Amino acid sequence: MIEALTDSNGLVTMGLVLFLGSIAGARGFLDKSGILAAGVLGIIVGIGGHWTWLAILLIFLVTGSLATRFSYDEKALMGLAEARDGARNWTNVIANGGAPGMIALLALLTGEPVMLAAPFVAAVAVASSDTMASEFGVLDPRVRMIINGRIVPAGTNGGISPTGQVAALGGSLLIAMTAVPLIGFFGSGFSDQAWRVFLVIVLIGWFGCQIDSILGAMFENQGLMTKGQVNLASTLLGSLATYVLLLLA
C-alpha cells in the first residue's frame, strides 16, 4: 500500500484526495467527519482501483451537493431539505460510497481493477441517480408510491414523480458519460465494449434508483432499514447486476 502511494497513480490519487477535502470544506459539501471519511474512502478507491475511479466519485460529490443546494430554501420550507445546509456527514459518505469502496478494496485484493471497473461505476451511477431523483423529484407534487401507485406527499420514502424519474435518468447518464471515456482512456478499461458498458451503466443506474425506492417503501417506512442501509443495499445490488450482465453473460 505504501509503495502504491508513491507511484504515478498514487500521487494523482493523493492530489485528488487533497482537492476533494479542500473543495468539500470550502463549499460546505461535507462536514469534518464527512471529509475524513471521504479522504479514507478516496485513498482506498484510488489505490485499489485507479485515480479515474476517484475522479468519478469526486464528480458525484460535486454534482450531488449542487443538486442538494438547488432550491434549498423551498425544500427547507417543506421540511425536506438536508440538515446543516446540505453538508453531508460520514454516514452519508458510507451510505453512498460504501459499495464503491468495497469494490475498490476487492480490486486491490484480487488485482483485477479492469474487470471490476464497470461494477464500480454502476454503484456510483445508482447513487447519483437516487440523489438526483430525491433532490429534484421532491419539488414535484405529483408523487405516487412505487409499489401501489397511491398518491403520497412529496418526500415520502418510496414515492416517485415524473420529475424525479427524469432526474434519476439524468444522474445515471451523467456518471456513464463521464466514466466510460475517462476510465477507457486513462484506466485501461472498456476499450473493446465501451457502448455496451455505457448502456448497461445507464440502465442499472436508473434501475437501482427504483430498487432504492422499493426498499424505502417496503422496509424503511416500516423501520426495518435506515436510509443509509437502503442506499448501501441498492448500490451493492446495482454493482452485482452489472457484473452479471457484463462479465458472466
Whether the predicted model's global pTM rises above the 0.75 cut: yes
- pLDDT tens for each residue of 174-223: 999 999 999 988 866 776 688 899 999 999 999 999 999 999 999 999 99
- pLDDT tens for each residue of 84-113: 665 788 999 999 999 999 999 999 999 889
Whether the Cβ atoms of residue 125 and residue 205 lie closer than 8 Å to each other: yes
Using alpha carbons only, what angle is made at residue 42 by residues 192 and 207, rounded to the nearest 5 degrees?
Answer: 55
3-state secondary structure of 152: coil
Mean pLDDT across 160-177: 97
- pLDDT tens for each residue of 42-83: 999 999 999 999 999 999 999 999 998 888 888 888 776 666
Mean pLDDT across 123-150: 96
Q: What is the pLDDT of residue 39?
A: 94
From the list 157, 144, 137, the residue with the least C-alpha distance to 231 is: 157
Total Cβ atoms within 10 A of residue 157:
20
Domains of the chain by residue range: 3-248
Total Cβ atoms within 10 A of residue 40:
14
113-137 and 51-69 are packed helices; what angle lies between their axes, rounded to 10 degrees?
Answer: 0
> What is the identity of the amino acid at 167?
A
159-160/144-145 β-pairing? antiparallel
Element (H, E) at 160: strand 159-160
From the list 56, 194, 191, 73, the residue with the least C-alpha distance to 125 is: 56
